[in-house]
Amino acid sequence: MSAPAVPPTDLLTRVDHLRSDRTPFVLATVVRAERPTSARPGDRAVVLPDGTVEGFVGGSCAESTVRIEGLRLLRDGTSTLLRITPSAGGEVTPAVDGVITVDNPCLSGGTLEIFLEAMVPPTVVVVLGDGPVARALASLGAALDYDVHLASGVDPVDDGTVPADAAAVIVASHGRQEEPLLTRALRAGVPYVALLASRRRGAAVLDGLDDGDRERVHTPAGLDIGARSPSEVALSIYAEIVATRSHRVWPVSTVVGAAPAPDASQAVDPVCGMTVACVPASSSAVVDGVTHWFCGVGCRQAFLAPSGDPAAAS
């Protein structure tokens, strides 16, 4: 079910809080509304990683479409213009020039255009150590809009050394406590872990790790681009981070408490034929042990009416 409508000023306050908490979300803003529609230009809502929609961008059917497209954008980390038309069929037209058109059989005759903007917090990169390459990683990371944590005082017993939402950890401590630092990063499930060392010394350090952990550490750190200066080495490491990440999901999947559902499965509403996201925020009902998903409460009620079992909701 959707969250209650949020006043515009409260929604903007909510957006500020989400940013402060490093929670990814999609900001949906109605930019055009063709009558008859309940939404008006300027109406806004946010789509959270668990599929919850807060705010107002139209009725339940429009909200359902914003939810499923918003979750897709969170997975991709991109933005788009969503056009919802009243044509029958519930089919999605592939994006053309940044526009996705969805035929919504539930609309009463109007058309909505909604700009969906993925608000993904900066990727957290932790550099453990101090030295020319570490400092170059910090300065270059800032230019790349990463949130770089430079920890020069490396202490493996310091719980704050590796933040829970770190997407990358580069150990550049030059022989100081490298194995425990790598182990901490690996145990934290950090997607990219690298050791700044020569091939020979890196192999010696990795000998102290389990086979599975050893395979997850990138050493020598960075792509082989013939780097020589500290800045070039830092560039090679960031190039490797970009090359190895998958579908830009790190910022979403590593945020503390975000309860992400960007890979949520989809189902077809048995009443109207719309595609909906299978998340708790969507309307659903269980009949004879089978879960059915709906674009809104109207289709759910229509589906349950013949069975006489309106209490069979999940």
Asked if the bond preceding 220 is cis, omega within 30° of 0, the reply is yes
- CA–CA gap between residue 90 and residue 88 (Å, rounded): 6
Domain ranges of the chain: 8-120+261-303, 124-247
Residue type, 69: E
Domain 124-247, what fold? Rossmann fold (3.40.50)
Q: Model pTM greater than 0.95?
A: no
| Contact between residue 124 and residue 137 where contact means Cβ atoms under 8 Å apart | no
Residue bearing tokens 């038309």: 85
The pLDDT, as a whole number, for residue 108 is 61
The pLDDT, as a whole number, for residue 158 is 52
The pLDDT, as a whole number, for residue 230 is 95
Long-range contacts of 96-103 (CB under 8 A, 24+ apart): 100/69, 102/65, 102/69
| Contact between residue 163 and residue 126 where contact means Cβ atoms under 8 Å apart | yes
- CA–CA gap between residue 217 and residue 128 (Å, rounded): 14
CA distances to 77, 91, 102, 119, 273 from 94, in Å: 17, 10, 9, 22, 18
Per-position pLDDT tens, the chain of length 314: 445 556 666 898 999 999 888 889 999 999 999 887 888 999 999 999 999 999 999 888 889 999 999 998 988 788 999 998 876 444 555 556 778 888 877 656 678 999 999 998 888 899 988 889 999 999 999 999 999 998 876 554 454 567 778 889 999 988 788 888 898 889 888 899 999 999 999 999 998 888 888 889 999 999 999 999 999 999 999 999 988 875 444 444 444 334 444 456 889 888 888 888 999 899 999 998 999 999 888 888 889 886 545 444 44
| Contact between residue 126 and residue 184 where contact means Cβ atoms under 8 Å apart | no
